[in-house]
Structure 1
Amino acid sequence: MGLISDKYGYLTFGTASEYNHDLIGPNLKGLHPMIYDELLFKPPNKTALSAWEDPSYHKLKSWNPLSSWGLFKYQLKIIFGNSLIFLLMITLFSALSIPILLISLVYLIRSSNNFKYRLILFYSLITILIYSMGFFPINFERRYIIIDFVLLFLLGGYLCTMSNLNKAFAIILIISFIIMPFASLYSGFNGNKDLYDLSQTLKNDYHVHGNIASTGGYIGWEDSHFISFYLNCQYYSGISENNVEKLKKELKNNDINYYLAWNKKGTDSINLPFKEIITGSKRVENGTEYLKVYYVS
């Protein structure tokens, strides 16, 4: 806490909660300006891959749900929506998640159960409830509730012990909780290999280095981010190529060395006043996107 407070100049445990609350507000509605505003963002230090290393340096417009009835209703809508997302996420992780919660609640209410068992169930349920609800008012993501998955698995095992269920139920419980993690690992195997191969081509054949910018939007931002990482370059986010004069000025002011221009299939790309280092048959096709790589300076 001392180190992070010294970094930001005020006492704090972190900046993520306030930042994510501003991001989900009525001004942005979850659309981060670093991705969708098509503006260049300088990385916060010389070793940072991009401004995404610490997005809190780029202030978002704050909002207070208690400042008006309309904003209060907007906040309640977010909380309700995130609670449904939470239930969906734990169900996708294991189909037994919600049954485990319901059975635990039934055992807790039944007065005939051992007080020690009921106390453990109470602490488990209240921990899951309080921990999870802390994320409901902000921009909600699955990685926030990994702890809940672990607690639900342990709670399921505890219910098996309480009920003296045979080993078959324990095996079913274990399988239900490992299917999704293993499926995610399998689907992510060699993920972004095409972008890695592309980055090696750009590095070895075209000697791409330095500062990189790209066209805006999620595809341009995400893929260019990965390419910059594999190249060990700094990525300055995306900027539109529609206004060529503005583009030239922004690239020059930020000392951009290479510009990655992504265009959808079937659309005509704008001819930019830079040297295109990948041309003709060497132009890269990535899914539904075409990529041109320009040398700027």
Structure 2
Amino acid sequence: MPPPVFRFAPSPNGYLHLGHAYSALLNCDLARRADGRLLLRIEDIDGARCRPEFEAAIVEDLAWLGVEWETPVRRQSEHLADYRDAMARLAAQGLIYPSFESRAEIAKLVAQRETNGPWPRDPDGAPLYPGTAKLLSPGERERLLGSGAPYALRLDMAAARARAGSLAWIERGKGPGRETGMVTAQPQLWGDVILARKETATSYHLAVVIDDALQGVTDLVRGQDLFWSTSVHRLLQKLLDLPQPAYRHHRLVRDAAGHKLSKSTSATGLRELRAAGATPTDIRRLAGLP
């Protein structure tokens, strides 16, 4: 039997913090115990926020922590053709459509809908797509596409679910509501999710599924904040005939106020802790690892 394959996949849009350290070290520990392999993947699709100096810092911080990974490192920006191919396969099944509303226009549509009561939101708190682009005639779609208007490519969730049927996954960790064991996937919670944009070949949901399949990842160990994203990932795996990895969602490292650590909130980075004299052993202790 081939060894299990784990991965740690940060985005180089900021410096690593304790939450990243926990996930990276946990993946490393589990891979070592299972005599498995650990991969490092750089999720750098967002060209506006990802920077080379952050990638260099990620490599430096992980090496300092004692994390070891195989080379070469996969960078998403170098594999856009893989994502375009997956989009073409979904489009051939009639499961993709373009929407042309701007973010401001979508916010206005949501506000209009909410005059009659709360509008549904996805597990991250964002409102589900309220537009009617799915109902545009082929001629009108072609006209808008030909005009050069920006657009998002969305998954027709109703059609995708009908094609895929019921889905589930085995949870070896725990979800945010302490879900464990066999979990029923609920991709409808996300509505017609965006899988790509005019200027971007892929979204997180599509890229992570394609990358994990192409890299042979067998064990996905990641934070509970991504627990319900697994529903979308299971749907895409079924539609694209991709293997299903094992899932283990872990607790999140939180600040004193109970909030998840985040780059966007300037959570204290590993580099700052190291500069203040912290050792890799201190980081393990602070993250709650033995």
TM-score by length of 2: 0.22
Q: Which of structures 1 and 2 has the larger relative contact order (alpha carbons within 8 angstroms, sep 6+)?
A: 2
Q: Which one has a larger percent strand, Structure 1 or Structure 2?
A: 2
Q: Which one has a larger percent helix, Structure 1 or Structure 2?
A: 1
